[in-house]
Structure 1
Amino acid sequence: MSLAPRAVLVHRTTEYEELVARHGTHGQAAFFLASRGRDIEEVAERHRRTRRALARVTAAVPLTWRQARVERADLDRFLFAPEDVVVVVGQDGLVANTAKYLAGQPVIGIDTDPGRNPGVLVRHRPEDTAALLTATSADELTMVEAVADDTQRLVALNEIYLGAAGHQTARYRLGLDGDGGAVEAQASSGVLVGTGTGASGWIRSVWQERADRLPLPAPVEERLLWFVREAWPSPATGTSLVAGELSGGRRLRITVECERLVAFGDGMESDALELTWGQSVAVGVCAQRLRLVG
C-alpha cells in the first residue's frame, strides 16, 4: 500500500520571536526597538499575520494526508521524502533556502506579507492552499551547482558566491572549460554565478551596475550569468575575464591560489564549501530543477 502524501510546511522564526528570545520579554523588546526609533507593534503585527497564515495553511491540508513542519534553521537536518508536497510559508528567500534540499518534490510558495515581499517565488495566498496541494502543473526553475575536485557539491536556486570568507581579496585562477584553455590569475572580491531566478536579486544588481549587454536569463532558461566582483589589475593578476554566460555543459572553473576560499548559495554562509590552496571547483547549470507550483 502506498503512503499518503505528506504536506511539509516550511517556515522561519519571525523577527518578533527573535527579538523576544534575545531580550526576554515583549516589554524589553519594545524598549529596545523604541530606543532605535521603531515601534514593536509593526513587528508584532507581521508576526501575527505569519501565524495566521500558518494556521490557515495547516487547516487546508486534507485529513487523509500526513503533515510535518520544519523551521529554516533545521532544513539541513530534515529528510524530505519523494511523496512530499512542500509548502513554503514566508518570503521568497525561504523558497530558495529550501530548494537545495529537494529532489523534484513540488513546492508551493505562500506569501505571508503581500506588498512587502516581491512575490517572485511565494506567489500565492493562504486561502489558495487547498486547490494548490493537488495541482499537477509546475514551472521547472533552473538551478546552479558548484562541484569541487574532492566531490564536495553545492546547489542553489538564485546564485552561488565564491570568494574569501570575509569578502576580502580572493586569489585564484579562472577559466572556462572547453574555451581553448584561456585561464587568468585574478585578485577580486569574489565571483558570482546566478540563474534566471537570481536575476531578480543579487545578480541583477551587478548586471545593472555594469550596464552589461548580456541579456538576463529567464527563470526556466538553462543559462547562467557570471560576474567577477571588483577584479584588481596588477603585474600578476588580470581583468580580461570578468563576465559571461554558461549554458549546456559549459563550466566556469576556479582554482584556489590562497589559503582559503568558500562557496555558498543563496546567502546561506553557514552552509558553505571549504576550499584550500590548489583545489578547483567547477560551476554550471545543475541537472536538478525546482518544481514551483503556479
Structure 2
Amino acid sequence: MSFEYAIIVKNKTRLESLIERFNTKAQAKFYIERLGGNFEEYEIEDEIFRHSLNSLQTQLSKVIKNKTIDRQFVSSYIFSAKNIIIVIGQDGLVANTAKYSVNLPIIAVNPDTDRYDGILLPFNISNFIQGVENVLTNKYNSKIMNFAEAKLNDGQRLLAFNDLFIGASSHVSARYKLTFNNKTEQHSSSGIIVSTPAGATGWLSSIFNMAYGVANLFEKNLTIKHPKLKDKDLLFAVREPFKSIRTQTEISAGVIRNNTLKIESFMPNNGIIFSDGVEKDFLNFNSGSIATIGIAKETANIVQK
C-alpha cells in the first residue's frame, strides 16, 4: 500500500481548555490562583506539549505530507486508505481515535514521558519517525487490537477500544436485567463496566483498586492481581450491585469469551451506553432497549517499535 498523507491527531491541553472557558489566559490564571491552584503547572504542561507537537510536525514534514486535526473532529473525519494516523497525546486519545481509524496504521506518540504513563504510546518524539519510515516501506510491526461492541435490538451499535459503560446518565441507580451464561438476574447498581484487554489498565483497574482496598480493611496484606485477558476476551464488572427483594448480586463479574452478555434496560429515561470515557459518544439505553455485548468485527492496527 502506498501512503500519501499523515493525519496528526491531537487534543487540547488543559491550558487551552481553560482559555476557552475564561476567554483569556490572564482571566484563567486569576481564577486558578484565586482558588489556591498552581497555574504554572498548566503553563509548563502546555509548553512541553507545544514543543513536542512542533518537533513532530517538523520531522514529519521531511518525510511525508501531513495535516493536524483536533480530537473533536475525528468522529466526522473520513480517513483514506492512503493515510497514516499519528496520535500525539495521552493514552485515551489513542482509544478515541482507533474507533474511526478503519484499521489504518496508528503511530501513537507520548509527548511528555515525565507526565504520562504511555501504556498505549510506544513512541516518543525522539523515535517516532522510525516508526513512520517503517510504515512507509511496509516493514513495520503492529499489534492488532479488538474492539468491544454494544449492539442494540434496534440495530444501533457502539464500539469501544478500552471500555463500555452501561448504566444511568446521572448518579441514580441503574435498573436492568442481565443475562450471562444462561443465568438471568435483575440488578440495581451503579452500572456495568465492560473492558477490553487494552482497557484493563484503565477504568477497570480502578474497580480492582477499590475492591482490594475495601477487602484489605479486613484481610491484611492482600496483593492486587490485575486481570490478564486474552486478545478476544472482555471482562465485565458490575459497580456497587445492590441486593434486595427484587434484585440479585450473584452475577457481579465475568469474562466474555466466545459468548455474549445481554442487558435489558428497565430505566424509563436517562439510560445510557458510552465508550472510552467519552459521554458525548453514546447510545440511549431506556426501557425496551436490549444490548448485546461482545467482540466487534473491526480491529485497530497499532504500530509497535
Is TM more than 0.5 here? yes
2:150 to 146, 154, 157: 146
Q: What is the Cα deviation at residue 183 of structure 1? A: 1.1
- Report the equivalent of 1:68: 67
- Report the equivalent of 2:228: 217
Query: Aligned partners of 1:71 and 1:112: how far apart in 2?
Result: 15
The answer for unaligned runs of 5 or more in structure 1 is none
Percent identical among aligned pairs is 29
Q: What is the Cα deviation at residue 40 of structure 1? A: 2.4
Q: Cα RMSD over matched residues?
A: 2.0
- Where in structure 2 are the equivalents of 1:79-90 lying within 5 Å? 79-90=78-89
Query: 1:214·1:244 contact (CA, 8 Å) conserved in 2?
Result: no
* Secondary structure at the counterpart of residue 155 of structure 1: strand
Query: 2:260·2:292 contact (CA, 8 Å) conserved in 1?
Result: yes
TM-score of the two chains, using structure 1 as the length reference:
0.91
Query: 1:90·1:111 contact (CA, 8 Å) conserved in 2?
Result: yes
* Secondary structure at the counterpart of residue 27 of structure 1: helix
* Secondary structure at the counterpart of residue 80 of structure 2: coil
Query: Aligned partners of 1:191 and 1:174: how far apart in 2?
Result: 10
Q: What is the Cα deviation at residue 52 of structure 1? A: 1.4
Matched, 1:289 2:289: no
Change (3 A) 1:284 1:214: farther
**Deviations 1:54-89 (Å, cap 9, x if unpaired)?**
111112225573322211111221111222211111
Matched, 1:253 2:254: no
Matched, 1:183 2:184: yes
Query: 2:3·2:83 contact (CA, 8 Å) conserved in 1?
Result: no
Q: What is the Cα deviation at residue 214 of structure 1? A: 8.7
- Report the equivalent of 1:173: 177
Q: What is the Cα deviation at residue 267 of structure 1? A: 0.5
* Secondary structure at the counterpart of residue 245 of structure 2: coil
Q: What is the Cα deviation at residue 41 of structure 1? A: 2.6
- Report the equivalent of 1:25: 24
Change (3 A) 1:214 1:237: farther
**Deviations 1:100-119 (Å, cap 9, x if unpaired)?**
11211111111111121111
2:283 to 267, 273, 282: 273
Following TM superposition, where does structure 1 have runs of at least 4 consecutive aligned residues deviating by more than 4 angstroms?
A: 211-215
**Deviations 1:139-190 (Å, cap 9, x if unpaired)?**
12232111111111111111100001113211111002xx3x3211111111
Change (3 A) 1:167 1:99: farther
Query: 2:205·2:226 contact (CA, 8 Å) conserved in 1?
Result: no
- How many residue pairs match? The answer is 288
Q: What is the Cα deviation at residue 3 of structure 1? A: 6.4
Q: What is the Cα deviation at residue 27 of structure 1? A: 2.0
**Deviations 1:228-280 (Å, cap 9, x if unpaired)?**
111111111111111110112x1100011121311101110011011221210
Query: 2:3·2:84 contact (CA, 8 Å) conserved in 1?
Result: no
Q: What is the Cα deviation at residue 208 of structure 1? A: 3.6
Query: Aligned partners of 2:184 and 2:28: how far apart in 1?
Result: 53
Q: What is the Cα deviation at residue 131 of structure 1? A: 1.0
Q: What amino acid is aligned across from residue 266 of structure 1 in structure 2?
A: D
The answer for unaligned runs of 5 or more in structure 2 is 135-139, 216-223
Query: Aligned partners of 2:115 and 2:226: how far apart in 1?
Result: 27
- Report the equivalent of 2:94: 95
Query: Aligned partners of 1:258 and 1:24: how far apart in 2?
Result: 39
Query: Aligned partners of 2:79 and 2:185: how far apart in 1?
Result: 41
Query: 1:195·1:217 contact (CA, 8 Å) conserved in 2?
Result: no
* Secondary structure at the counterpart of residue 61 of structure 1: helix
- Report the equivalent of 2:198: 197
TM-score of the two chains, using structure 2 as the length reference:
0.88
Query: 1:6·1:85 contact (CA, 8 Å) conserved in 2?
Result: yes
Change (3 A) 1:140 1:46: same
With 282-291 and 259-268 compared, the bigger mean Cα shift is at 282-291
